[in-house]
Amino acid sequence: MEPTQETKYFKAKERVKEIKKFYSGLIFYVIFISFLAGLNYYTNELQYPWFLWAAFGWGIGLVFQAAKAFQWNFGIGKGWEERKLKEFMEEEDHKQNNLWK
């Protein structure tokens, strides 16, 4: 089934929305972590860099958000799904054919 121009437009619009959401999250990350680093430096001159805990935790979330926004599949994409479906269907057909022989 061929997607129409309208569905392509809505998919593209959703993707742009995800990318925009990622970039705004990245900007807030940089601003907030910079603030925490400054606060950490002011309180104990980075003898114990506790702001890195927040940077690490929030950074993990940003990586997952980037993966979703930029559609990083890590080897398990649409092609993989279709190949597995075909493989399982052929396996099921093979079982059915051997059952009645």
Predicted confidence (pLDDT) at residue 86 exceeds the cutoff of 60: yes
**Is there a single domain that holds both residue 3 and residue 38?**
yes
**In 1-101, where do the E strands start and end?**
none
Token representation of residue 90: 């052929």
On whether both 18 and 42 belong to a single domain, the answer is yes
Check whether residue 28 and residue 59 sit in a common domain. yes
Q: 85 and 60: one domain?
A: no
Whether 16 and 63 share a structural domain:
yes
pLDDT tens per residue, range 30-65: 999 999 999 999 999 999 999 999 999 999 999 999
Domains held by the chain: number: 2
Cα dist from 52 to 7, 46, 62, 65, 85, whole Å: 43, 10, 15, 19, 43
57 and 101 together in one domain: no
* 85 and 64 fall within a common domain: no
For residues 37 and 46, give the distance between their C-alpha atoms in angstroms, rounded to a whole number. 8
Domain residue limits at 78: 73-101
Residue 77, pLDDT above cutoff 70: no
